[in-house]
C-alpha cells in the first residue's frame, strides 16, 4: 500500500487525551493546547494521525471508520474522554512555511490501519511553540469527542 | 521575608509568609489550624472515590498507586491554601484533578502532575485577584497548565518550578487583523506587564476593562 502526500483540501485526525484538552465548567471541549502537537520521545520524530477522507460520507461516518481502524491496529485511546481533532492539511503546511518548516503530511496506510498518516518534518525539539500553537488553534478546524460518536 | 495579610472574616486573618524562597507557608490561628486540618482530612477521605473503603493492594499496578498518590498530594496542597481560594474554586480544582488523573481513563501519552509545578500554579492563583476559572491541562513534562479560551482568543500558561512560567497567547485572524501568537517564558510576577501590550489581562482576570 503506497504512501502519498495528502492534498491541501483534505484533513487529518489527531487523537488528543483529556490532559491536552481545554474544557469549560460544563465539560464542553473548547479546544486542545499546543502540547497536543508536540513530539514526544515515543513518537520517533513524527506525529501519528489518520486521514479523515479515507472513506466517503459525513463526518461521523469518517470518524467511526478511523476509530475502527484504531481498534483493529491496537491503538489505545480513551473512549470516554479522548477527542478527535480534525486538522486541515493545507493550513498545517501553510503555517509550517511561515515558520520556515517544510512539513510533510503523508498518507501511509498499512494492512492494520488503512487511515494511518503522519505529519513529518516538525521541529524535533518542540522549540517552535508558535508553530505548534498555530496548529492547535488554526489547523484544528473541529473537535469531536469520541464518546459522542454512534 | 515577604509578608501578605488577607482578611478572611470568620476564620481570622492568617499571614501568608514566604519563609524560604518560593515556599508558601501559612501562619494560622489555632482555630484556623483546626478548621484547615479538618478540611484536609475531609478532602483526602473523598479521594479516590473508587478506592474508598478499600485497602490499597501492595501488588496493585504501581502506576495506579502512583496516580492515586499524585491525586492525593495535589489535593493536600490545595487544602493547604483553602483559606485563600473560594469554595467553588477548591471544588472545581478537585474535580479537574480527578478528571486529569483518572486511572481508568489513562492513556499512554498522559503524565503525572509535577508537585512543584502545581505549587507554582497555586501561588499564582492565590496571589492574583479575581482569576477566571482556568481549564487545567498537563504537559508531557508533568507541568500543570492553565488555559482560558474564549471566542478566538487563547491564553495558556504552563507552570514550571521556581515560579517560572511559559505562556502562549494567540488570537485568530479576522477581517481586520492578522492573527498573532506570542510566547513568553519568565517569572510569574512579570505576566501582567508582558500581557499589557496585548490588552489581554481580561482574558484571565475578572473585572478588567
pLDDT tens-digit series, residues B134-188: 999 999 999 999 999 988 899 999 999 888 999 999 988 877 777 889 999 999 8
Residues of chain B with C-beta less than 8 angstroms from the C-beta of A17:
107, 109-110
Give the lowest-confidence range in A29-38, B14-23, B79-88, B199-208. Answer: B14-23
Question: Using an 8 Å Cβ cutoff, are A15 and A76 in contact?
Answer: no
Question: Using an 8 Å Cβ cutoff, are A14 and A33 in contact?
Answer: no
Residue B33 has pLDDT above 50, yes or no: no
* CA neighbor of B105 nearest in space, from B79, B81, B75, B71: B71
Predicted local distance difference test score (pLDDT) of residue B37:
43
Dist CA B173 CA B168 (whole Å): 16
Confidence of residue B40 (pLDDT cuts 50, 70, 90): very low
A70 touching chain B per CB within 8 A: no
B131 touching chain A per CB within 8 A: no
Residues of chain B with C-beta less than 8 angstroms from the C-beta of A145:
none
Question: Using an 8 Å Cβ cutoff, are A15 and A81 in contact?
Answer: no
Give the residue from chain B lying closest to A22, CA to CA: B135
Predicted local distance difference test score (pLDDT) of residue B197:
83
Give the residue from chain A lying closest to B93, CA to CA: A25
Decide if A19 and B109 are in contact by the 8 Å CB cutoff: yes
Decide if B168 and A20 are in contact by the 8 Å CB cutoff: no
| Cell representation of residue A125 | 525539539
Give the residue from chain A lying closest to B144, CA to CA: A19
B134 touching chain A per CB within 8 A: no
Residue B38 has pLDDT above 50, yes or no: no
A71-80: string of b/e by CB count within 10 Å (b at 16+)? Answer: eeeebebbee
Predicted local distance difference test score (pLDDT) of residue A40:
85
* CA neighbor of A46 nearest in space, from A56, A38, A36, A58: A38
A44 touching chain B per CB within 8 A: no
* Calculated CA dihedral for residues A37, A39, A43, A45, nearest 10 degrees: 120
Distances (CA, A) of B192 to A66, A113, B56, B75: 43, 48, 45, 28
Residue B39 has pLDDT above 70, yes or no: no
Residue B138 CB partners (closer than 8 Å, separation 6+): A19, A20, B100, B110, B111, B113, B144, B145
A80 touching chain B per CB within 8 A: yes
Predicted local distance difference test score (pLDDT) of residue B32:
44
Which of B99, B105, B156 is closest, CB to CB, to A33? B156
Dist CA A70 CA A77 (whole Å): 8
Dist CA B204 CA A104 (whole Å): 36
Residue with cell 514550571: B160
**Edge-to-edge order in the sheet of strand B135-138:** B135-138, B144-150, B153-159, B164-171, B180-187
pTM (2 d.p.): 0.79
Residues of chain A with C-beta less than 8 angstroms from the C-beta of B110:
17-19
Decide if B100 and A76 are in contact by the 8 Å CB cutoff: no
Which of A17, A21, A133 is closest, CB to CB, to B168? A133
Residues of chain B with C-beta less than 8 angstroms from the C-beta of A42:
108-109
**How many Å lie between the alpha carbon of B59 and the closest alpha carbon of chain A?**
24
Dist CA A27 CA B95 (whole Å): 11
Predicted local distance difference test score (pLDDT) of residue B26:
39
- The secondary structure element, H or E, covering residue B167 is strand B164-171
* CA neighbor of B155 nearest in space, from B192, B116, B127: B192
Dist CA B5 CA B103 (whole Å): 39
Q: Considering chain B, what is the average pLDDT of its residues?
A: 75
Residue with cell 465548567: A25
Interface test with chain A among B106, B107, B167, by most A beta carbons within 10 Å: B107
Would you call B62 exposed, middle or buried from its count of C-beta atoms within 10 A (0-12, 13-18, 19+)?
Answer: exposed
A16-44: string of b/e by CB count within 10 Å (b at 16+)? Answer: bbbbbbbbeeeeebebbbbbbbbbeeeee
Dist CA B161 CA B120 (whole Å): 7
Task: Measure the CA angle with vertex A53, ends A51 and A59; round to 5°.
Answer: 110
Low-confidence ranges of chain A (pLDDT < 50): none
Radius of gyration of chain B (CA): 19
Decide if A19 and B108 are in contact by the 8 Å CB cutoff: no
Query: pLDDT above 70 covers what percent of chain B?
Result: 69
Residues of chain B with C-beta less than 8 angstroms from the C-beta of A18:
99-100, 102, 105, 107, 110
Residue B42 has pLDDT above 60, yes or no: no
Amino acid at each position: 500500500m503506497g504512501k502519498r502526500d495528502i492534498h491541501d483540501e483534505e484533513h487529518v485526525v489527531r487523537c488528543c487525551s483529556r490532559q491536552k484538552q481545554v474544557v469549560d465548567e460544563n465539560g464542553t471541549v473548547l479546544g486542545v493546547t499546543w502540547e497536543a502537537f508536540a513530539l514526544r520521545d515515543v513518537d520517533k520524530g513524527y506525529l501519528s494521525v489518520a486521514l479523515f477522507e479515507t472513506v466517503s460520507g459525513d463526518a461521523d461516518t469518517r470518524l467511526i471508520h478511523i476509530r475502527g481502524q484504531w481498534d483493529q491496529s491496537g491503538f489505545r485511546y480513551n473512549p470516554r474522554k479522548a477527542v478527535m481533532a480534525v486538522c486541515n492539511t493545507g493550513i498545517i503546511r501553510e503555517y509550517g512555511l511561515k515558520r520556515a518548516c517544510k512539513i510533510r503530511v503523508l498518507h501511509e496506510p498499512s494492512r492494520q490501519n488503512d487511515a494511518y498518516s503522519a505529519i513529518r518534518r516538525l521541529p524535533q525539539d518542540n522549540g517552535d511553540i508558535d508553530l505548534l500553537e498555530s496548529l492547535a488553534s488554526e489547523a484544528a478546524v473541529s473537535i469531536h469527542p469520541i464518546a459522542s460518536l454512534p | 521575608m515577604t509578608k501578605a495579610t488577607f482578611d478572611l472574616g470568620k476564620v481570622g486573618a492568617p499571614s501568608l509568609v514566604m519563609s524560604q524562597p518560593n515556599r508558601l507557608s501559612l501562619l494560622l490561628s489555632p482555630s484556623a489550624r483546626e478548621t484547615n486540618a479538618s478540611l484536609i482530612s475531609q478532602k483526602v477521605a473523598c479521594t479516590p472515590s473508587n478506592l474508598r473503603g478499600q485497602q490499597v493492594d501492595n501488588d496493585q499496578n504501581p502506576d495506579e498507586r502512583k496516580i492515586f498518590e499524585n491525586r492525593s498530594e495535589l489535593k493536600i496542597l490545595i487544602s493547604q491554601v483553602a483559606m485563600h481560594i473560594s469554595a467553588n474554586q477548591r471544588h472545581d480544582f478537585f474535580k479537574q484533578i480527578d478528571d486529569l488523573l483518572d486511572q481508568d481513563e489513562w492513556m499512554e501519552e498522559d503524565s503525572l502532575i509535577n508537585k512543584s509545578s502545581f505549587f507554582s500554579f497555586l501561588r499564582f492563583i492565590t496571589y492574583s485577584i479575581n482569576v477566571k476559572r482556568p481549564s487545567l491541562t498537563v504537559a508531557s513534562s508533568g507541568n500543570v497548565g492553565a488555559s482560558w479560551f474564549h471566542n478566538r482568543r487563547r491564553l495558556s500558561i504552563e507552570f514550571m518550578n521556581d515560579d517560572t512560567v511559559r505562556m502562549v497567547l494567540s488570537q485568530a485572524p479576522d477581517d481586520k487583523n492578522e492573527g498573532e501568537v506570542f510566547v513568553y517564558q519568565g517569572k510569574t510576577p512579570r505576566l501582567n506587564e508582558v500581557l499589557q501590550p496585548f490588552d489581554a489581562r481580561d482574558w484571565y482576570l475578572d473585572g478588567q476593562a
